[in-house]
Amino acid sequence: MQRRSFIKNTTLCVVAVSTSGFIRFNGNVYIGDCETTTDILGPYYRPDSPMRNNLIIAGESGQQVELSGTIKHNDCKTPYKHAKIELWHCSPKGEYDNTSSEYRYRGTTLSDDKGYYSFHTVLPVPYDAGEGFIRPAHFHLMITAEGYQPFVTQLYFTGDDYITKDPFSSSPNAKRRILDIQTLNDGTKKVSYDVSMSPKLAAETAVIDKLTGIYTDEKDKNNKIEIFKKDNLLWMKNEVFGEAFEYMGNNTFQYPNAPQGMSLTLLFEIISRRAVKVTKTYVDEKGEKHINVAMKMVNE
């Protein structure tokens, strides 16, 4: 099958993205609900943060807090041993360490034999993401566990005035990620968050809305990639209507019905509040890669 005919004809074979959440039927009744929802991977993720769960920096201000919880399999109860948990967040001044070798307020740990994980750090603060748009305070988490789709999310905090003004934290799917900050008997602060892994996760509406639009190829300004939403799925327009894509985690979407040996993926990068980049990678029947990089500006 040639490249053009593949792109044109695959619109007839779309598959719906599975939903997240784990309500299970035990043969008699539906039991359990350990839904874990995703959130967008922002522009400040850095891989390879140090293996450590203590992110406290001597001499810096900020309210110290423990973030802890349990990583579970998708049966909602079995602990997942040695899952990789990455945490990153802004400083008490609202700044991310995006370049230094210290990886300030960034760290990686593994869940123990009971699936338990914990980080000791400080509470992040709301910050100006550009032109007066204030993001609520939040933790970023990325969890990687063999057999499951990589899980990316953001955790918010009860009482933050900016939650209702932010398209991601105000999404209905984010309700379970707006967490209470507990004060323990010894005066220390604690935030708890359990995660149930899933083979597949659905991208949330707010995430898809952020990615839709018309992207201009960096090398050929006349070449456009149009991304749109239908039935809460992400689609790429083609000559007929479009192709629907499955969410693969980490801002990556893949066309699910490519012929064997061929593939079509879209990788999105949030460059800033007003800029999003997409890398479209098509692998043809010969195994050759065709890569297009395009950008869109967001006018709000």
pLDDT digits (tens, 9 = 90+) for 278-296: 999 999 888 999 999 999 9
Annotated domain spans of the chain: 3-17+205-297, 24-196
Residue in this structure with the two tokens 């898809």, named with its chain if needed: 208
Strand 30-31 to strand 64-72: parallel, antiparallel, or no bridges (unpaired)? unpaired
Ordered DSSP codes for 84-98: EEEEE---TTS----
Asked whether 154 and 143 are in contact (CB, 8 A), the reply is: no
- Which pLDDT score, from 0 to 100, does residue 2 have? 38
pLDDT digits (tens, 9 = 90+) for 122-145: 999 999 988 788 999 999 998 999
- pLDDT average, residue stretch 220-240: 87
Comparing 41 with 71, the larger pLDDT belongs to 71
Backbone angles phi, psi at 151, to 5 degrees: -115, 125
Asked whether 86 and 49 are in contact (CB, 8 A), the reply is: yes
Q: Which CATH class is domain 24-196?
A: mainly beta
CA dihedral over 218, 220, 225, 226, signed as positive or negative:
positive
In this prediction, what percent of the chain has a pLDDT beyond 70?
87
Is residue 89 predicted with pLDDT exceeding 80?
yes
The model's pTM is 0.69
- pLDDT average, residue stretch 193-211: 84
- Which pLDDT score, from 0 to 100, does residue 270 have? 87
Comparing 116 with 46, the larger pLDDT belongs to 116
Strand partners, 265: 254, 281
What residues contact residue 53 under an 8 Å CB cut-off, 6+ apart? 107, 109, 117, 118, 119, 120
Cα dihedral 34/16/204/245 (nearest 10):
130
CA distance 29 to 48: 44
Confidence tier at 299 by pLDDT (50, 70, 90): low
- Checking 133-137 for CB contacts under 8 A at 24+ apart, the result is 133/273, 134/162, 134/165, 135/162, 135/166, 136/160, 136/161, 136/162, 136/163, 136/165, 136/166, 136/169, 137/162
- Taking only Cα atoms into account, the Rg of the chain, rounded to an integer number of angstroms, comes to 20
